[in-house]
Structure 1
Amino acid sequence: RGLDDEQLRGLKRDLAIRARQENRSPADAWRQIEKAMELERNLGRFAKRGVRATYHACDLCDRDSLAVTLQRIRKTDGPIIGVLHGAGIESACRLVRKKMLQVQATIAAKCDGAANLISLTADDLLQFFVAFGSTSGRFGGLGQADYSLASDLLAKMMDRLAVERPDCRSLCFHWPAWDEVGMAVRPESKMALQAGGVSFMPVAEGVTHLLNELQSGTREREILILDKPEPLDTDRTMTRNAAPADPREFADASSAGEAVATSPPRETHDDGAASAVMASSSDPCASLPLMDRLVPGIAAGQYLAELHLDAARDPFLAEHRFRGKPLLPIVMALELFAEAVMALRPSTHITAIRDVRIINPCYVDPKQVQPAQVCMRETNSGIACELVGPFYDSNGKQIDSERLYVSGTLETGDAARQLEAIQPGKPLFDWFPFLYPEDLHIYHGRPFRTLLKIDYIHGGGRAVLKAKPTTELVGTRTGTGMFTAPALVDGCLVACGTWGYIMLEQALEIPAGLECYRQSRSPREGEQCILRFFLREQGLKQNRYDMVLVGEAGDTILQIEGYRANCIGENS
């Protein structure tokens, strides 16, 4: 209590250190502190306005604990005449990733809690019992199968209660995202909702809807709050050619036992211990092959895209090895950055990836799944990204919990940038067929083998590449595709390295970074492309290249400026 900004920062820092030592998420640990501070502020506001409010903490799913709490309320505050049940747990992710305990907790917070409240207030002269559901309970939500189930079941419980206790006004609100309160205003949820074009319902409007329904003489049991009568594509996953909804269709909804008001079509959650206003958001990582979830960071304005690297199952690791050890390629680091930013801003386009640097090589032990995260923060030049993860020694012992592997900055815009078309030219004589070596220190397996032919000329060269399906790189991972072209780009880098080995010092070249990566479109599966690359600078330990990849239609697919490759000898 009474902490200034400096003390709060110190508390955050100490809490993060302790959470990491206990193998807990620092963000989750800090979220509990934030909730306690918010509760204290709200109670203080009540007191200043002369409202006597008491906060009783208990687990609604624990019937005995709830019974004791209700009895305490009756003794201290008098008869219980109304219940507002808004507890809930929501953690959006793909169904295959959901854990049984997580699903059980999601359903229990809403439905078991409601069942206990209904049973333990059976002898109270209730005037109303209001349950807070979600628009996802009516229309579903991406990554919210369990939460949608719980919200819809809660509404059906209110239907039954209305029949069993006709003297009690029983109803369920299918709320959209509230503004200022609830989990919809968490940074990671709010940015995802705003990027999807979702507006937020002001608190005053929500309270007005609630009071109006309680004071009205109608007996609807489910109240749906929407922003406007349009196709209910709250996750922006439906096709764009759907016919606009006829407003008259919504006017007929009351005949089915529903009342329709106006406000936005989405909602995000709260935690599950007590009844409170809440909200729910879709999983912004659900359609991304490499991302697990998006969470807020410890520092202000920081966001973390969490992921896992599995060299036993991920072809982009198993088929890319340095001296026999799976090594994350720089081209996959570009894709990780792109997917992380798209999870944060799903409605934008990535226009450039700049200042990419490999700080440390990211080796992944095939015997264990390695967690990692892309740390993002806003800067004047774009979204700064850092790939961070644990580092283990040869015995599997963790040496560093947060080693920085790759950094870069991503620029975004409203539309993809079209790149200037060039003429890559043709070989003076003929192409040289390229065969990937099997015995070099650097091994590129089948998913990366896009380079077919090469042409060696002074100051640079040309190459022919063929695009492969992205599924060959990601294996069993699911998603809607990639934002970059990792296998093709890897083939471009191999072409530069091969040219450097033949034409320069016969040294192997290892990627070190690049100045700028731009891509105007994704290559089509099987598309044959022409690469034109130039040696910009030759150094003793590092060479620098520029390159352009041209598609079959003569358009420029991607452009790389300032690709840096470190030169190493066979024995270095």
Structure 2
Amino acid sequence: MFRSVVAELPADAPRVALHSVVVLATGGARGITAEVLRELARPGNTLVLTGRSTLPEAEPAELAALADAAALRAHFIAEVRLGALAMKPGEINRHVQALLGLREMRANIADFRASGAAVEYHAVDVTDEGSMRALLDGVYARHGRLDGVVHGAGVIEDKLIADKSTASWRRVVDTKVVGLLLLQKWLRPESLKFLTVFSSVAGRYGNSGQGDYATANELMNRICEHLRGRWDGRVAVSALCWGPWGPTKFGAGMVTAETEAKFAAKGVTLVSAAVGRKLFADEISRPAGGPVEVVCGAGPWERHEAEIGAWRERAPEPEGPELGALLGTARVLDAGRGEQVVALCLDLARHLYLQEHVIDATPVLPAAAALEITAEAAATLWPGWKVVEVREFRLMKGVELKEPARALRVLVSPPPYGSSEGFEVVAALQSELAAGRFITHYKGVVRLEQQLPAGERIVPRPHREKSLTVDRAYGEWLFHGPRFQVIEGFGGLSQQGAGTAVRSTHPSAWLRGVPADAAGWVFDPALLDAAAQMAWLWARAFRDESALPAKFGRVVRYAERFPERLRMEYERIPSDDPTLIRANVVFSDERGEPVMLIEELESIASAALNRLGGSARTAIDA
């Protein structure tokens, strides 16, 4: 297994002079390759740039006046509507991006020349051997030598491997790998000072949806190791494994919303243009013989490798580390296609609360506990982020424990989009029906951010139509055992809702073997269940029906830890469906500051459920 190590370089390390040099840069007119070449754009230096596109000197005046993508897109749409142009929407978008790319190239070349460098640009396919040989022969004929090479050409077409076409795979891999193979074939190493390739952390550590891109970069890394040995240490060979970049001088950088969310979720910092230029200049000015593969950018590289190695070592074990209160000794597994799995086991001996949530003589996992399990799984997978909300959390099929234990898993999709402020993942709580076949019990969307949001101060509302005592609620109407009995008083009930006093809980009260000083919940499942209990009680008081939760529309937490005593405001939402009880619920502290909000809690009401009232029983082996 490869390991990344920190290599401190002495402050007085020798540097190779990079004056009066001829440098070839594939893909050098755009993106991060162009950005770092500003370090070489100085009087006396010659930059030979290649790109796939033919570069016109200027664009038509009517297009040059359109400043951005939106203006260009609007122009072409208008042309299509007038019949002057025949383009589909996708073709318009591609044409706009191509024009913006040409603008970036012209701007970079002009900037290089303004800095004093001599610049050549050649439209070349780096995978075509005849074109590459002619290019290099021409450079040696015109300049007599080639001092440095920067192989920055690359193609990104992110998709899961199952969805990749052969042509797309070849475009991504061949541009980097075949391009490098042709370069080394026709280069004359006797005059070469440095060769550096632009690789990626995706090649070393992997990244969802970038199987082809990761393959291409890791192959380049290995080829560079071979070249260092073949050239006997006379050429400084390096593979710069870049992390994701922020904006460049004339471009948007490497980051899309999707890749930014994925990297940010792993604690990876974006490389700024200034930092990237300095890293590049430092690496190409080092003498030959140094490390070949260099990770460029801040991130938890060593920890990531250690976690991967540790997982492989313990994967055969039946149990993993403590991941969360309800998760317990769960395992994190790779499900493929970018998905991850948190595998756990519910057992009556540890999960004591299950013995107090019994329907028709069978312990049933409460929806509130299912939501907490899902939130804990997301918090485990992205430890540097905070779970701030769960939304559209729906019951598909209840989880019954007809045996003393039952295996479950939380299947978590990769983040489809996001930003440095936050991202969302889809998570499903499942069990296995047969080998490789799973049934989904609950499904929802989990949002993670850097900070918890702030809520609005709560002003309690009076509810005076009906009164209710705690004894009657838990002794006659509800079926929940002592661990769920967190409603401590009713301020009254009305057609509009109810106001109650509730208390929070700690995992040590719900689970065997959890110490009192252990970390608390993400969302307190007892409080979530208290909201569902209130729907049951409201339905019983005003309809003589009982109700079980089917959906949490949106649950938001505003505090890391909940105070022991809280107020719960249950505000009913009218519904045209007579079987549906809908409400918003907010929990606040003694000052009225919100600590948790539930929007659109939906419960299914039925008089048949009244049979469960008063069936609460004391926990077994408590």
Q: TM-score, normalised by structure 1?
A: 0.51
5+ residue gaps, structure 1, are 12-29, 53-177, 181-186, 214-224, 229-233, 236-263, 273-282, 393-397
Cα offset, 1:412, TM superposition:
2.7
The equivalent position to 1:532 in structure 2, one of 570, 589, 604, is: 570
The equivalent position to 2:377 in structure 1, one of 323, 330, 340, is: 340
The equivalent position to 1:507 in structure 2, one of 539, 542, 545, is: 545
Cα offset, 1:269, TM superposition:
3.9
Q: Distance in 1 between matches of 2:426 and 2:408?
A: 17
> Secondary structure of the equivalent of 1:268?
helix
> Secondary structure of the equivalent of 1:402?
strand
Other-structure match for 2:205? none
The equivalent position to 1:566 in structure 2, one of 599, 604, 614, is: 604
Other-structure match for 1:45? 223
Other-structure match for 1:456? 493
Other-structure match for 1:194? 267
Q: Distance in 2 between matches of 1:269 and 1:188?
A: 22
| 1:541 partnered with 2:614 | no
Cα offset, 1:518, TM superposition:
1.4
Alignment of 1:210-225 (within 5 A): none
Contact 2:389-2:448 within 8 A present in 1 as well: yes
Other-structure match for 1:294? 332
> Secondary structure of the equivalent of 1:379?
coil
The equivalent position to 2:424 in structure 1, one of 375, 378, 383, is: 383
Q: Distance in 2 between matches of 1:420 and 1:568?
A: 34
Q: Distance in 1 between matches of 2:308 and 2:465?
A: 69
C-alpha change, 1:486 and 1:538, in structure 2 (3 Å) is farther
Segment drifting more, 555-564 vs 364-373: 364-373
> Secondary structure of the equivalent of 1:539?
coil
Amino acid at match of 2:481: G
Q: Distance in 2 between matches of 1:7 and 1:547?
A: 40
Other-structure match for 1:61? none
5+ residue gaps, structure 2, are 1-156, 165-207, 231-240, 244-259, 310-318, 612-622
Q: Distance in 2 between matches of 1:44 and 1:195?
A: 24
Cα offset, 1:534, TM superposition:
2.0
Larger Rg: 2
Alignment of 1:74-93 (within 5 A): none
Contact 1:466-1:528 within 8 A present in 2 as well: yes
Q: Distance in 2 between matches of 1:265 and 1:380?
A: 26
| 1:409 partnered with 2:587 | no
> Secondary structure of the equivalent of 2:574?
strand
Alignment of 1:41-440 (within 5 A): 41=219, 45=223, 49=227, 193-194=266-267, 266=303, 268-269=305-306, 286=322, 288-291=324-327, 292-300=330-338, 302-380=339-417, 382-391=423-432, 398=434, 401-426=437-462, 428=464, 432-435=468-471, 436-437=473-474
Other-structure match for 2:524? 485
Cα offset, 1:384, TM superposition:
3.3
Contact 1:544-1:565 within 8 A present in 2 as well: yes
Contact 2:392-2:551 within 8 A present in 1 as well: yes
Amino acid at match of 1:344: L
Amino acid at match of 2:547: E
Amino acid at match of 1:408: G
C-alpha change, 1:6 and 1:37, in structure 2 (3 Å) is same
Q: Distance in 2 between matches of 1:271 and 1:346?
A: 15
Q: Distance in 1 between matches of 2:362 and 2:454?
A: 38
User: CA offsets, 1:543-566, max 9 Å, x none?
Assistant: 211222221122122221111101
C-alpha change, 1:49 and 1:401, in structure 2 (3 Å) is same
Cα offset, 1:401, TM superposition:
3.5
Contact 1:192-1:284 within 8 A present in 2 as well: no
Contact 2:499-2:570 within 8 A present in 1 as well: yes
Contact 1:467-1:523 within 8 A present in 2 as well: no
C-alpha change, 1:195 and 1:288, in structure 2 (3 Å) is farther
C-alpha change, 1:568 and 1:43, in structure 2 (3 Å) is same
Over aligned residue pairs, what C-alpha RMSD do you find? 5.1
C-alpha change, 1:452 and 1:522, in structure 2 (3 Å) is farther
Other-structure match for 2:110? none
C-alpha change, 1:515 and 1:7, in structure 2 (3 Å) is closer
C-alpha change, 1:299 and 1:367, in structure 2 (3 Å) is same
Q: Distance in 2 between matches of 1:532 and 1:404?
A: 29
Q: Distance in 1 between matches of 2:464 and 2:512?
A: 40
Cα offset, 1:323, TM superposition:
1.7
Q: Distance in 2 between matches of 1:298 and 1:526?
A: 42
Segment drifting more, 407-416 vs 485-494: 407-416
User: Would you say how many aligned residue pairs link Structure 1 and Structure 2?
Assistant: 362
Cα offset, 1:355, TM superposition:
1.2
User: CA offsets, 1:520-559, max 9 Å, x none?
Assistant: 1155453142423224325222221122222112212222
| 1:553 partnered with 2:594 | no
Contact 2:470-2:487 within 8 A present in 1 as well: yes
Cα offset, 1:350, TM superposition:
3.0
